Amino acid sequence: MRNIAIVAHVDHGKTTLVDEMLKQSGAFRDNQVVQDRVMDNNDLERERGITILAKNTSAFYKGVKVNIIDTPGHADFGGEVERVLKMVNGVLLLVDSFEGTMPQTRFVLQKALELGHKIIIVVNKIDRPDARLGEVEDEVLELLMDLDATDEQLDSPIVYCSGREGTATLDYNQPGTDLAPLFDTILEHIPAPEGDPDEPFQMLVSSIDYNEYVGRIGIGCIGRGRVKQGQEVMVCDYHNPNRRYKGKIVNLYQIDNLRRDPCETACCGDIVCVSGIADLTIGDTLCDPASVEPIEFQAISQPTIEMTFSVNNSPFAGRDGKFVTSRQIRERLQRELLKDVSLRVSDTDTTDSFLVAGRGEMHLSILIETMRREGYELQVSTPRVLFRTIDGKKCEPIERLVVDVPEEYMGSVMEKMGLRKGELQHMQPQGNRMRMEFLVPSRGLFGYKNEF
């Protein structure tokens, strides 16, 4: 067995590559009609063409089960990436053959290196006419050095892929015919999960799903031991030693391709879904009651912006949604907290409004749009950035902004960034375009996208 996550900047082709990996491993019948980006299964993901939630699937190759986690590429959903990295032993770092390393590539790679994961560099979209394969390779190596990678991580293998065509090769001068070179590299380079099946059971919950029939479903990788359906376990929390209670695993599932198959038992290294335990949350450890040892959970980065969600009290109240009271809005926000670790909800002085903090405009806008489609009616305020005091100094969130424009627009972008307190860090021509990298305060970016 191998457990891997695919990480990359937004739009570099993660989900499309997973589609082809599933097709070539025999997940679908030959005559089965399969939609594109099969992992993006919620309406908003398909409409916007982005991945919002990290999702698990698995493929079989040469008798080895490869558990694959497809992750989002937007910085706003970075919390999704941070928590699933605990479930895997290696990472496929996907890089576009023209765009090269981008800000989010840096962010997710840093998290993977901190956990000591093995890396496979995948240069994707090699069939693009403007591909810069040699330069992109150098950029990735520079980034690894920048992030203090170990010698072993610097020696990571490089695979050249076309996710859309479903081909991979180890030498870009010789085109591939299928994804076999990528699968072979995964089996050779990524270690199998470690752990002793005879030791007491222990599993960290890295993800939560919710189902109206069975309640909360905890998803995680078994660190050691075995688990059976109907087994009693102790739920504990590394960061809160007083929080301990017993529970029973009513249902146990393993992920097989795109299905969750019920199973009787599972062993260390398996990624499983368990249901039947009330109040289970991300970061909890499930243990054998005879040996209670909680596992430390990765600290999730703090939210950077905040909005006020309140009951709609305008003259048009009650015309748009079914759920309009503060109690219904509160329940919906609390339910979102079960699944989204990087969201924060707090009460205000009044009973009909709540402070909701997230990782960026996109993060909160997706939540608002999801609630609107579910029939919730609410008012929201303009976003505000969250300041924090670090070592006695007031600090604000700073973003790394990459702008890619034709050369004649360079001047006006730099002028506008100057007014918004952006500092130019780096400038690089690419054909007849110019790529500029700025460090800019989050509040300086509000509203810039439309202007751009």
Q: What phi and psi values does residue 448 have, to the nearest 5 degrees? A: -75, -30
3-state secondary structure of 436: strand
For all residues of the chain together, what is the average pLDDT? 83
3-state secondary structure of 279: coil
Strand partners, 309: 354, 380
Q: What is the pLDDT confidence band of residue 306, given thresholds at 50, 70 and 90?
A: very high
Model confidence pTM above 0.85 = no
Q: Please give the DSSP secondary-structure letter assigned to residue 216.
A: E
**pLDDT of 394:** 93
**pLDDT of 62:** 85
Contact 242, 250 (CB under 8 A): no
**pLDDT of 357:** 93
Q: Using CA atoms, how far apart are residues 244 and 250, in angstroms rounded to an integer? A: 19
First to last CA, the chain: 47
Q: What phi and psi values does residue 271 have, to the nearest 5 degrees? A: -95, 120
pLDDT tens for residues 45-91?
A: 566 666 556 667 888 888 888 888 877 766 666 666 777 788 888 88
Token pair 């699968």: residue = 183
Q: What does the block give as tokens for 349?
A: 């002085």
Q: Using CA atoms, how far apart are residues 143 and 105, in angstroms rounded to an integer? A: 9
Mean pLDDT value of segment 306-318: 88
pLDDT tens for residues 276-291?
A: 887 788 888 888 888 8
pLDDT tens for residues 378-422?
A: 999 999 999 989 899 999 999 888 888 898 899 999 999 999 999
Among candidates 390, 253, 379, which has minimal Cα distance to 312? 379
Contact 294, 235 (CB under 8 A): no
Other beta carbons less than 10 A from residue 281's beta carbon: 16
3-state secondary structure 157-207: CEEEEECCCCEEECCCCCCCCCCHHHHHHHHHHCCCCCCCCCCCCEEEEEE
Q: Using CA atoms, how far apart are residues 404 and 421, in angstroms rounded to an integer? A: 19
CA angle 257, 262, 266 (to 5 degrees): 90
Contact 113, 159 (CB under 8 A): no
Question: Which domains, from first to last, does the chain contain?
Answer: 2-189 (3.40.50.300), 202-287 (2.40.30.10), 305-386 (3.30.70.870), 393-451 (3.30.70.240)
**pLDDT of 29:** 56
